[in-house]
Structure 1
């Protein structure tokens, strides 16, 4: 009985075939076919949700000037708010500017500034090295 079972298992094992798997890259940057380049680029551009705002060809000179003045006024207002709230320099503590919450503290890496937008929940961290 054991001999028959052993012969049966060897017979099945002999009849099973394996297949060799071969990886072929699709992206031409990783060795794939160069004819895939246009398809990959068009696919990536179709999925891109960002707009290129650096192209300012549609703004007239007057609109560009008005935008420049607006940026300067907002920058000066921001500097005066920071000076009024923080004084001459950044000191450890918690500060609030409208919907922005700033937390400033010292660490081994340097001065750390955590910025939290309380309306959206977005946050960022700035580390100023020693």
Structure 2
């Protein structure tokens, strides 16, 4: 019975089976740098390589290592003092609070506040770099 069933299946496959076909293998390069590759693959290959890299840029690594929390705190504190000073300057011109004319030192910044006919002039000088900025807050009409 087993032989008969096997023979029937083989006969059925031979009668209704299709002929197997073959084709030639063709090499197609993917990387456009290797000649003949598709130039549209370049962006994908580059992003894939960058995602897999384990190398670290020394400039970035040194920057992270040189950050000092105490220095960051001082910088943040200076920024807050400058913000408060600018808020008071603007408030004094528009009727809230008052700030006196004079010279102020905040960190490495020298701030000179001078009232004038057109409004209050604020000159900020960074003593570490020598950069200077002048801001004029106009009088209210």
TM-score (norm 1): 0.35
TM-score (norm 2): 0.33
